[in-house]
Amino acid sequence: MGNRFKAALAAIAVSAALVAPQAARALDDAQKQEFGAFIREYLLANPELVEEMQQTLELKRSKAAIDGNADRIFRAEGDIVLGNPAGDVTVVEFFDYNCGYCKRALPDMTRIIENDPKVRFVLKEFPILGPDSLAAHRVAMSFRKLMPEKYQEFHMTLLSSDVRATEERAIEIATALGADEAALRAGMDDPAINAGIKDAYDLADKLGINGTPSYVVGNETIFGAMGADVIEQKIANFRTCQSTVC
């Protein structure tokens, strides 16, 4: 809690004590009006407090949603884990292969994994940009089951591609990495793929995610490509105080 917010609460408490000599007595209408005027005046003079309070509320709601779905977010069966599987802090990224911001954020993931050997990085397939995206993610999820050891290479290649991610483009990359096309196409019909995508949609709804990339770090949901510096600071904070905001 910031010093300014503490000061505001202290000032309000002092004001309440002054207008209510007997703590147990309810404020009368005049006192309520005076008290309300004081609060209004203080907030108008310190409007940044409203933003701070909103951020605190959003973090509290985010933490509640994460705590209530922690296993599905951080430990879902079938999710790809990059970096250190036993890392002390997990970063979860919701992404779409046709998301331009996801493409620009790809180096952020690479930097975080390469610079921090204690980070566990989870990728959530979250196709929200049309039929091409959905088809490309189906190929990715089939490939992941066939050749999990090469999924990171597949992911990096498809996401960094300058052309639109489609079923054909994804299959082209997968077969170039050694996947059998017939097995790959058969795997795309696995009911588990639909279930995994639906679960990602449901989680996103619970977390308030409606765009990509979005991240979950520790106890906070981060919306948008905020950059490696922001994510690394939140990782450091979580290690220090078990919250992304210390």
The tens digit of pLDDT for each residue in 53-82 reads: 766 677 777 788 898 899 999 998 878 899
Question: Do residues 83 and 119 make contact, with C-beta atoms less than 8 angstroms apart?
Answer: yes
The answer, yes or no, to whether residue 28 has pLDDT greater than 60, is: yes
State which amino acid sits at residue 74: F
CATH homologous superfamily, domain 70-241: Glutaredoxin (3.40.30.10)
Task: Report pLDDT for 10.
Answer: 44
Per residue in 211-240, pLDDT (tens digit) is: 999 999 988 999 999 999 999 999 999 999
Q: Is the pLDDT of residue 241 over 50?
A: yes
Please, what's the b/e burial string for 133-153 (b: 16 or more CB within 10 A of its CB; e: otherwise)? bbbbbbbbbbbbebbeebbbe
Q: Among candidates 50, 46, 59, 108, which has minimal Cα distance to 83?
A: 108
Label residue 37 by pLDDT band (50, 70, 90).
confident
| pTM attached to this predicted model | 0.76
Specify whether the CB–CB gap between 124 and 137 falls below 8 A: no
